[in-house]
Amino acid sequence: MPVRTVRRAAIARATPAQLKKYFSAKLAAELGPHNVKRLLEMRSTDITLLDVRSAEGYRKGHLPGAVNIPFEEIPGRLAELSTHKTIIAYCWDTTCTLSTKAAYVLASNGFRAREMIGGIEQWQKAGFPVEP
């Protein structure tokens, strides 16, 4: 019986310059929980933490000082946010894309938006406090 070879899935080819541009943009857009904690410890006044989870999720616990605007409500509530502050959106966990989508909507509307990767799950795994 002949040996059948399995063809590897095609891997997208990118030049080093394309990858540099991608990773530069990724680093500019994302913050980890430790970075956000540092900003809070510095008492930075030019950020807004935006919890884009449901109101129920927010009530169960959220990052200190965070405001809650569930993702689906963001387009109608943009006026509640300052264009003079960097808005750091977060959601549930590493598989949740709500904060990515929220940051996209915010940036598309002229806001300085960033995303906290890992969501509240990684925040809590790091042992950082949450407010009820």
Active site (catalytic) residues? 91
Which of helix, strand or coil describes residue 25? helix
Among 49, 85, 51, which Cα is nearest to 71's? 51
Per the CB < 8 A criterion, the answer to whether 93 and 122 are in contact is yes
Q: Pairing relation of β-strands 112-116 and 30-31?
A: parallel
How far is residue 111's CA from residue 132's CA, in Å, rounded to a whole number? 27
